[in-house]
Amino acid sequence: MSRRLVFLGPPGAGKGTQAQAIGRKLGLAHISTGDLLRKEVADCSPLGREAKVFMDRGELVPDAVVVRMVKARISEPDCAAGFILDGFPRTRAQAIALEAETHVSRVFFFDVADSALVKRLSGRRSCPRCGASYHVEFVPPKKAGICDLCGSTLVQRDDDKEETVMRRLVEYTAKTADLIGYYRDRGILTSVDAFAPPEQVEHSLIAAIRKVPEA
Ligand code: ADP
Ligand code: AMP
């Protein structure tokens, strides 16, 4: 019995923040394709070397590469109890590939005004070890520059610099936003007010997830 969830929304909407916290609280595996790709890049694997070119430009990594990685990840034992996909699918082809692989229980769309995204991304600080996300103003760590969860030194991601942020937002609008209608048409989309403070977003998401039937 498990719930297989997708967190969908623009870069900076708060998907990673919520997926990490809720995954821990509800015992769901948190699968961030961005984190998986950054690990491949850090390891200098062949996949990482291929992906890096696209990530540095703020573009989507080719579908075949990401789909292969997700298929392998969701077949790992910790996913049997359910998972949250954060940042996947990002194209229609990825959504179709996911459907062929597993049944998606519910998709949560993080609804937030475009005007908030640049400020969220430019102030984001990330933990290179555990992937936790902070914000210098909105979600500060207890000790400046240090991850609350694992004590590592926080960094600013290279792709959170302004020109790359703009390119990522354009990619989202061109290739990913279409998935809102795709999942709405299938009757499995729930919109969440992601403009609210993080604790409030978490509260409404947990309430909504508890209502999703386990399959
Ligand atoms: P995503 O995974 O969707 O790209 P993140 O979860 O990394 O986004 O959040 C982007 C930035 O916004 C981070 O700096 C995070 O701390 C901050 N953030 C997340 N949720 C909220 C919120 N509800 N209100 C304000 N800032 C938020
Ligand atoms: P994220 O951490 O989700 O903001 O993703 C960072 C970068 O990784 C994106 O800008 C893309 O280059 C790449 N990426 C992450 N997930 C995907 C995906 N599902 N499809 C294609 N590229 C992805």
Q: Which domains does the chain have, with CATH numbers?
A: 3-112+176-209 (3.40.50.300)
pLDDT tens digit string along 139-154? 999 999 999 999 999 9
Contact 129, 152 (CB under 8 A): yes
Q: What is the pLDDT of residue 207?
A: 97
The per-residue pLDDT for 162 is: 87
Q: Residue 52: helix, strand or coil by DSSP?
A: helix
pLDDT computed for residue 24 by the predictor: 96
Give residue 33's pLDDT. 98
The three-class DSSP label of residue 83 is strand
- Classified as helix, coil or strand, 163 is helix
Q: Per-residue pLDDT for 91 more than 90?
A: yes
Give the number of the ligand closest to the Cα of residue 157.
Answer: 2
DSSP 95-143: HHHHHHH----EEEEEE--HHHHHHHHHTEEE-TTT--EEETTTB--SS
Q: Above 90 in pLDDT, residue 98?
A: yes
pLDDT surpasses 80 at 1: no
Tell me how far the alpha carbon of residue 193 lies from the centroid of ligand 1, in angstroms: 13
Span 130-137, average pLDDT: 94
Is pTM beyond 0.85 here? yes
Q: Which residue has the tokens 């959504």?
A: 95
Instruction: Give me the amino acid identity at 187.
Output: G
Q: What is the pLDDT of residues 4-27, one digit of tens each?
A: 999 999 999 999 999 999 999 999
If you average pLDDT over residues 93-101, what whole number do you get?
Answer: 98
Residue 85 banded pLDDT, cuts 50, 70, 90? very high
- Catalytic residue (one of 92, 157, 167, 175): 157
H or E element that contains 55: helix 46-57
Distance separating alpha carbons of residues 15 and 53, to the nearest angstrom:
24
* pLDDT, averaged across the chain: 96
Ligand 1: nearest atom to the Cα of 136: 14
With 90 as the cut, is the pLDDT of residue 73 above it?
A: yes
- The pLDDT of residue 215 is 82
> What is the distance in A from the centroid of ligand 2 to the CA of 61?
7
**CA count, 13 A, side-chain hemisphere, 104:** 26
Answer yes or no: are the C-beta atoms of 132 and 147 closer than 8 Å. yes
| DSSP state letter for 45 | -
Catalytic member of 3, 15, 38, 120? 15
